[in-house]
Structure 1
Amino acid sequence: MVRLTRVQQQERTRTSVLAAAREEFTEHGYALAKVDRIAERAELTRGAVYSNFPSKRALYLAVLIDMVENAPAGEPSTRSPRSPAEVLGVFARTWLERLPLVDDTASGGRLHLRSLAGVLDDEHARTVLAQVVRLEALLLAIPLESCEPAQATPVRRVRLAELVLTLLDGSGHLAESAPGFGDPFDLARACEHLSGIDLADTWTPPYLPYVAPARPCGDAWDPPTGLADRISGERADLGADGLITVLGAGRLAAAEEAVRSARPGEQVTVVVVTSDAAETGRLVRLRVTDLIGCLRRVFAPEAWRRVRLVLDDEALAAAAIGLTDLDDETESAVRVRGGAIVARAHGRGAAYAASTADAPNGTRPRSARS
């Protein structure tokens, strides 16, 4: 008789719980689902469920992540950048595939939709979601901007991305309460036409002149290995010259500061940390994984240029930088050059401070003006 190792047994238990939980949530929905029934379905004790997932919300998020990560993947895009209107139409049609089908039950349709209605019922979770959506808009805006003709002043498309995501998310919420309302093809065409709206979009944060300077240094840099870049799906190379910013889940909007402040040609790595991997960490992972799955089917990998996104659940990158006291308000950055950390900054504006640390006369890099 083959004896399972402890790790194998834990994985088997986790798989059984996820399968049972998906059945429970599909049949009863999130609000009416019971952990006791999930344990019965999995033929486990209630304690065995909670030993793997500390709350019903953590379990629900894990089920959604499992669905997203194991869904049949569409063909990744290999096409060169096209017009913003064309790519927005393709992106919208890809995103709208999640809308409930006619024969779905109400609860099953919500699960297929990745609905978070009634799940994030506290202020902290809603605050984190707002920050995640800001990050999502940036992840969509970066490849949109790559579709634009080269200009002296680069075009910012973050507000357009926010508008598109608002329209699509709104259609999802409406699909929950009024199934079948709204034509997906009309929604996709509407997203195409949004690209023609002049939103006067600029990036000019008023706080930048007041950001505390970074601390110049020459610290040895021993980057952790094995971390994945969520955008490309490949290994994240943290040893390259560039900017590494560590953001708590409550500070994700600052990712754009890192992208705009980085010097031309240098890599930008956004590292996300959280003090609550079971719920907050899973919420970030769910939303990012779901969105990037859509984006990869629309944009070729080079559309993100040198931007990397790392979900650092074990705080490996943060520890390598020297950060130990982490929470959802963490905001810190270092600049790496020639295998060493040459600047460190903490607090609001950290990415900007680290990137401009040794700029002549304190001037900003050209890319920061976009």
Structure 2
Amino acid sequence: MSEGAVPEVRKTRRERQAETRQQVVTAARELFLTRGYHGTTLSAVVEAAGFTKGAVYSNFASKAELALAVVEEIERENVEKLAGAFQGASDPAERAKLLTLWGETILSDTAALRLRAELSFAAMDDPALAETIRHKSRNVRASVAAMLRGIDHSERFQLDVPVLADALTALANGVGMQRLGDPDFDVQAFVLAAGVLTGMPLSGEVPDAS
């Protein structure tokens, strides 16, 4: 090794496994959102990820498990984006604009909405998948509740935080399903209803994303 060269730090087995898993999820996300759940095969994911079948199956036992990992990643990103934005916004009007933009963004992502819906329908005939989805849904609602608790303590919601988190999640899911059947359905329905639930004066005006 030449003088001044930085020695290579070898990754642990766990780190390599985590990296492989993330690369598989990234490849699968592109396929699921483009082709849908039923239009995507694990063989296609293996090819897109550039790994062997063993590398994929060692991380995910089934296509449903992999699709759930993709949905979980998307939902985590959505909650983190809103939570991060809210932490830097103390003015109620500014928060209202952020919630409006957030609602527009996630409820306009029809590919992700479709994937969630396809998984939910698949779970109707798969009790194990249904239980996993319920567990992950509880985690999402808990994340939303944690985000709400992180808002300025002077905020006074009309409902208890866990109930409010459940209501907002159900509202978003309902509007999302509506938009799958009717892409022209106005997302402002979510914004206005969320305003009623949270007690925040939400404007129907969507701010510039820039």
- TM-score class, shorter-chain normalisation, is 0.5 to 0.7
The structure in which a higher percent of residues are strand is 1
Contact 1:89-1:189 within 8 A present in 2 as well: no
Q: 1:38 aligned to 2:45?
A: yes
Shift of 1:170: 0.9
Q: Indicate the SS of the match to 1:32.
A: coil
Q: CA 1:133–1:193 in structure 2 vs 1: closer, same or farther (change >3 Å)? A: same
Aligned equivalent of 2:204: none
Matched letter for residue 99 of structure 1: L
In the aligned structure 2, how far is the partner of 1:134 from the partner of 1:65? 12
Contact 2:31-2:40 within 8 A present in 1 as well: yes
Q: 1:193 aligned to 2:200?
A: no
Q: Indicate the SS of the match to 2:45.
A: helix
In the aligned structure 2, how far is the partner of 1:69 from the partner of 1:157? 19
What RMSD in Å do the two structures reach over aligned CA positions?
4.0
Aligned equivalent of 2:206: none
Q: 1:167 aligned to 2:171?
A: yes
Equivalences, count: 180
Stretches of structure 2 lacking an aligned partner (at least 5 in a row): 1-7, 200-210
Shift of 1:38: 1.2
Shift of 1:158: 4.4
Q: Mapping of 1:79-94 within 5 angstroms?
A: 79-80=89-90, 82=92, 87=95, 90-94=98-102
In the aligned structure 2, how far is the partner of 1:87 from the partner of 1:29? 33
Aligned equivalent of 1:28: 35
Shift of 1:171: 0.9
Contact 1:39-1:45 within 8 A present in 2 as well: yes
In the aligned structure 1, how far is the partner of 2:97 from the partner of 2:19? 41
In the aligned structure 2, how far is the partner of 1:11 from the partner of 1:163? 34
Q: CA 1:4–1:134 in structure 2 vs 1: closer, same or farther (change >3 Å)? A: closer
Aligned equivalent of 1:99: 107
Shift of 1:34: 0.8
Contact 2:159-2:197 within 8 A present in 1 as well: no
Shift of 1:181: 1.6
Highest CA radius of gyration, 1 or 2?
A: 1
In the aligned structure 2, how far is the partner of 1:57 from the partner of 1:176? 21
Matched letter for residue 78 of structure 1: G
Q: Indicate the SS of the match to 2:116.
A: coil
Shift of 1:70: 6.8
Q: 1:77 aligned to 2:87?
A: yes
Shift of 1:51: 1.2
Shift of 1:110: 2.5
Q: CA 1:66–1:157 in structure 2 vs 1: closer, same or farther (change >3 Å)? A: closer
Shift of 1:165: 3.0
Shift of 1:195: 4.6
Q: CA 1:6–1:54 in structure 2 vs 1: closer, same or farther (change >3 Å)? A: farther
Contact 1:89-1:191 within 8 A present in 2 as well: no
In the aligned structure 2, how far is the partner of 1:133 from the partner of 1:22? 19
Residues 210-230 of structure 1, C-alpha deviations (whole Å, 9 max, x = no match):
xxxxxxxxxxxxxxxxxxxxx
Matched letter for residue 166 of structure 1: A
Stretches of structure 1 lacking an aligned partner (at least 5 in a row): 102-108, 197-370
In the aligned structure 2, how far is the partner of 1:33 from the partner of 1:156? 41
In the aligned structure 1, how far is the partner of 2:54 from the partner of 2:165? 43
Q: Mapping of 1:1-370 within 5 angstroms?
A: 7=13, 9-10=16-17, 13-67=20-74, 73=81, 75=85, 77-80=87-90, 82=92, 87=95, 90-100=98-108, 109-111=110-112, 113=113, 115-120=115-120, 121=123, 122=127, 123-129=130-136, 131-132=138-139, 135=142, 138-139=145-146, 142=149, 143=151, 146-148=154-156, 156-182=160-186, 184-195=187-198
Q: CA 1:159–1:98 in structure 2 vs 1: closer, same or farther (change >3 Å)? A: same
Shift of 1:187: 3.0
The structure in which a higher percent of residues are helix is 2
Q: Percent identical across equivalent pairs?
A: 26
Shift of 1:12: 5.2
In the aligned structure 1, how far is the partner of 2:133 from the partner of 2:59? 24
Shift of 1:35: 0.6
In the aligned structure 2, how far is the partner of 1:193 from the partner of 1:27? 35
TM-score by length of 2: 0.61
